[in-house]
Structure 1
Amino acid sequence: MTRTIVVIPTYNEIENLEAVARRLLEAVPEVELLVVDDNSPDGTGRLAEDLAAADARIHVLHRPGKGGLGAAYRAGFAWALGHGADVVVEMDADGSHLPEQLPRLLDGLRAADVVIGSRWVPGGAVRGWPAHRKLISLAGSEYARLALGVTQRDATGGFRAFTAPALARIGAERSTSQGYGFQIETLWQAVGQGLRVIEVPITFVERVNGSSKMSAGIVVEAMLRVTVWGLAALPARVRRRRPAVAVSAAPVHR
């Protein structure tokens, strides 16, 4: 039987975690949930422990402090792979990713190594975002696509499913990125490793409770990293695109 572990990082998500966990395990009862809590001062970690005590499918990984989304996912991925996961899923704790749509991602793994829940492919949607938030997200994905040469539409999306071998090949543990940058980097590495990456449409819903962890600093960090990666990869991309020059042998005169 396939063991699927859903990794959900948390920091001050006490208003959202219980409902998201309940919906997730109702939608896909055979999955397990790993909550990676960064010592939330609002008691999210204690709530996660209570949920785990009541349901053997829920696990908790405590980290000493707020270290960022990328670091939380690296720790969660390592825990999942170390505990025998065949499939690892990343998902937000704030309800923005609908647990009821997880089967779409898992079904996609029948034909792929990595499946991205995409807001920007036909059938995808975003609810509750003002126009400028949509523009920032679209622009970030488009810039990453152009700079890194990836074709996926939602380069910054955070609802994803990986086979364990794919995640091991991506080598997320070597990443130092946070936020958007982590999502972009793992996609870039997946493409660079020749993995099969597909997108399936999802509906992204703006959180109702709590506050977003997104900041201008996270966006700037991501764009700076993408620029550096893109410039470093440019010579290789140019070489791949350069047409081969046919060389004909010089005529031999007798």
Structure 2
Amino acid sequence: MAEPAGPVLVVIPTYNERDNLGPLMRRLHAVVPTAEVLVVDDASPDGTGELADELAAADPRIRVLHRAGKAGLGTAYLAGFAVALQGEYQVVVEMDADGSHAPEDLPALLAALDEADLVLGSRYVDGGQVQNWPLYREWFSRGANLYARLALGVPIRDITAGYRAFRRQVLAELDLDEVASQGYCFQIDVAWRATRAGFRVREVPITFTERQRGSSKMSAGVVAEALWRVTCWGLTHRIHRRDAVTEGQASS
């Protein structure tokens, strides 16, 4: 693959991912050697932050941002985005630390930025796959994405996807200070904002593989937040759209 246009920063939030971080770094730099990495660690008790420091000391492509405690996926990514915008990075990538996002799929995401502003690594478009999930979990994920798609009126099939690549312009122009969502609701929030702002959003197929080491950070609270926020956003959006149509009819 051709090298991406402009510097790339891969933001990887971590909390108790010591067993996964080293192998992930090796795989990532095997396929995109020029990519720089920012590990955002939330004071992991298992020593992930210390390992990240060791990796950074041995490789100038790796940096570490230490946070005082576990503050959530959304704020971790926002902190990473702020670092990216302070630098000269032209592409910013979100990637999970648990190995579920295959670095080998990253070249396809970067290549798709030739015709898009935000590229989502999608499990639910043709060619996308989910491996090692129980059937109930995959159908729950598909149902959540269908609900979000219908409630928000967007054509994105995997709007909860956490593997994505942004052009710098998207992060620079979106009002990220207003994003308060956590968990996979954060992913819905940002993708919806990008769509409403007129940015080109494209999905490319990936293979998502359930983690082999460590434990998932998914919780009932994360799911409840997503359902609540998506419902509120959808209702507000429909009310605003109805009011706009009514005003247009009244003025004609």
Distance 1:59 1:234, change over 3 A: same
1:159 and 1:241 map into 2 onto residues whose CA distance is 36
**Runs of 4+ displaced beyond 6 Å:** none
Q: Deviations over 1:21-40 (max 9, x none)?
A: 11101110011010000000
Q: Secondary structure at the match of 1:16?
A: helix
- 2:130 aligned with 1:126, yes or no? yes
Distance 1:227 1:43, change over 3 A: same
| AA partner of residue 132 (structure 1) | Y
Q: Deviations over 1:28-71 (max 9, x none)?
A: 00110100000000000000000000000000000100001001
Q: Secondary structure at the match of 1:110?
A: helix
Query: How many residues are paired up?
Result: 247
Q: Secondary structure at the match of 1:109?
A: helix
TM-score calculated relative to the size of structure 1:
0.93
TM-score calculated relative to the size of structure 2:
0.94
| AA partner of residue 163 (structure 1) | R
1:9 and 1:124 map into 2 onto residues whose CA distance is 24
2:175 and 2:27 map into 1 onto residues whose CA distance is 30
Task: Give the conservation status (yes or no) of the 8 Å contact 1:120–1:201.
Answer: yes
Indicate the percent of aligned positions where both proteins have the same amino acid. Answer: 57
Higher Rg: 1
| AA partner of residue 206 (structure 1) | E
Q: Which runs of 5+ in 1 are unaligned?
A: 249-254
Query: Which residue number corresponds to residue 141 of structure 1?
Result: 145
1:208 and 1:70 map into 2 onto residues whose CA distance is 23
1:146 and 1:170 map into 2 onto residues whose CA distance is 23
The Cα RMSD (Å) is: 1.7
1:39 and 1:23 map into 2 onto residues whose CA distance is 24
Cα deviation for residue 239 of structure 1 reads: 5.4
Q: Secondary structure at the match of 2:65?
A: strand
Query: Which residue number corresponds to residue 210 of structure 2?
Result: 206
Query: Which residue number corresponds to residue 34 of structure 1?
Result: 38
Cα deviation for residue 237 of structure 1 reads: 3.1
1:93 and 1:38 map into 2 onto residues whose CA distance is 13
Task: Give the conservation status (yes or no) of the 8 Å contact 1:78–1:173.
Answer: no
| AA partner of residue 41 (structure 2) | D
2:92 and 2:243 map into 1 onto residues whose CA distance is 35
1:19 and 1:241 map into 2 onto residues whose CA distance is 54
1:237 and 1:139 map into 2 onto residues whose CA distance is 25
Q: Which runs of 5+ in 2 are unaligned?
A: none
